[in-house]
Amino acid sequence: MRQLAFLFVLTLFLGSSVHAQTRVSQKEKAKYDELNDFQKDLYKKELRLNEEEWSKFWPLYKEYQLRLSKSKKRFRKTWFPIDINSYSEKKATKYLNDVISLQQTELDLFAKYSKEISAVIGTKKTLILREKRPLIEKQIVTKATALGIKKK
């Protein structure tokens, strides 16, 4: 779960070149650029996308990731650190409702963007994306760690 949270924060950061230019040194920016290129190459390779598919897929996928990340970030901001054993029944009920709401949001986003992405790269490649995404994310986290990029 921490790796996934790290990846979402990292994806947000990589998606914001203005942020990268104003808040990090040139050396750090080069690391983020290298990681961003690595991420793009992984998705291109794993999904076997041609340039036309890639040019339509990547903006859609980044938009999906951003919206997903924002909803998870709101949840974490409200509930982190999670200590269920200390919750009253009322707080536990609120937490459960928020978990259900987050999962519904994730499902709604998946349904919306799967249809849009399928229209661009086809259903088969969309299913491959769903299957390979966790493995790709692990590789990105490993690369970020190797580059010395720390979780923000």
Angle at 41 between CA 39 and CA 45, to 5 degrees: 120
84-141 pLDDT, tens digit each: 999 999 999 999 999 999 999 999 999 999 999 999 999 999 999 999 999 999 999 9
Q: Please check whether residue 116 is in contact with residue 11, taking contact to mean a CB–CB distance below 8 angstroms.
A: no
Q: List own/partner pairs for 111-116 with CB under 8 A and 24 or more apart.
A: 113/60, 113/61, 113/63, 113/64, 116/60
pLDDT in tens, 31-56: 999 999 999 999 999 999 999 999 99
Question: Which residues, other chains included, contact 138 with Cβ-Cβ below 8 Å and sequence gap of 6+?
Answer: 3
* pTM (2 d.p.): 0.75
